[in-house]
Amino acid sequence: MTFAQFSRAAALSRREIYRAIYAEHGPSIKVKKEKTALKNLELIFEATLKISNRKGFRAMTMRDLSQETGLSLGVLYHYFASKDELLDMVQRTGRSIAGRILREAAARENEPAARLRAVIQTHLFLSEAMQPWFYFSYMEVRHLGDPEKDRTKAAELWSEKLLADIISEGQAAGVFAPVDVSLLSAAIKAMLQDWYVKRGKYAKRGYTVDQYANFMVGLVERFCLVGSKQAAPRQGS
């Protein structure tokens, strides 16, 4: 699978995302007309990610947000009750989308090696398509209230366990070598996260997400695939 194929397959249109937010947070949002609500929700979320990912959510002021969106302070508070609630909304939305797509990808394959490859690729493609969201979620966990913080950490552990289960299954089937499952899945997660946390670095060096995915899959398979081809791994692409 390539990133281009993934983009076509995954239903990730912006319109739908904001429609889902509007539907879910209906009671909290004091705007009646869907058309203006969607337009402003997109403005607000986009600006929040842009400003926060530059200087941090805590350092972003409501006046920053007002200026960037072109909306007045009063209007902003028609979409959330407080700045903290805005933080929760961004967090929740990203998590629910990411969870859905990852679950679908893991269910599509059966054979352990293929499943492992699919989850790695899908995670990378997803974080590529939603980079600001992933970066935000990663950097702002500390500023969440306890309930939302717990949910975020649980989601991260869930995706790591998804990897661990696949590896364990492969070991039981004899296709993966008996490496330390917990450490290997943690290492895979670390590399997955690096793609969206250090996105700028990879862009500057001219790497595409497809190249990174190929490299990661090669690295992981060469480490734990039993009887992996001993030919030297290829460069980049």
Partner DNA sequence: AGGAAAATAGAACGTTTGTTCACTTTTTGT
Partner DNA sequence: ACAAAAAGTGAACAAACGTTCTATTTTCCT
- Nearest 5°: CA angle at 217, between 227 and 126? 155
DSSP designation for 59: T
Which residue of 14, 39, 100, 198 would you call a contact of a copy of itself, by CB under 8 A? Answer: 198
**Residue 71 near which of DNA, a copy of itself, none (CB within 5-8 Å, type-dependent):** DNA
How many whole angstroms from its chain centre is CA 200?
16
Taken in order 191, 193, 194, 200, is the CA torsion positive or negative? positive
Site for DNA in 42-71 (CB under 7 A): 60-63, 70-71
**Residue 172 near which of DNA, a copy of itself, none (CB within 5-8 Å, type-dependent):** none
- Nearest 5°: CA angle at 39, between 36 and 42? 145
**Residue 163 near which of a copy of itself, DNA, none (CB within 5-8 Å, type-dependent):** none
Minimum Å distance from CB 29 to DNA?
A: 9
Q: Does 77 bind DNA (CB under 7 A)?
A: yes
Minimum Å distance from CB 76 to DNA?
A: 7
| Between 59 and 114, CB nearer to DNA | 59
List the beta strands (DSSP E) in 15-160.
Answer: none
| Between 27 and 206, CB nearer to a copy of itself | 206
Q: Does 124 bind DNA (CB under 7 A)?
A: no
Q: What is the per-residue binding string for a copy of itself in 16-55, x denoting contact by CB under 8 A?
A: --------------------------------------xx
- How many angstroms separate the CA atoms of 108 and 208, rounded? 24
Largest separation between any pair of C-alpha atoms in the chain: 64
- Do residues 178 and 86 touch, judged by C-beta distance below 8 A? no
- Do residues 147 and 199 touch, judged by C-beta distance below 8 A? no
**Residue 5 near which of a copy of itself, DNA, none (CB within 5-8 Å, type-dependent):** none
Give rounded-to-5 percent helix, strand, coil for the chain.
Answer: 75, 0, 25
Q: Which residues contact 79 (CB under 8 A, 6 or more apart)?
A: 29, 30, 31, 37, 40, 41, 44, 86
Interface contacts to a copy of itself, rule CB under 8 A: 54-56, 58-59, 139, 142-143, 177-180, 182-184, 186-187, 189-191, 193-194, 198, 201-202, 205, 207, 211-212, 215-216, 219, 222-223, 226, 232-233, 235-236
**Which residues in this chain contact DNA in the complex, by CB under 7 A?**
30-33, 35-37, 40, 60-63, 70-75, 77-78, 81-84
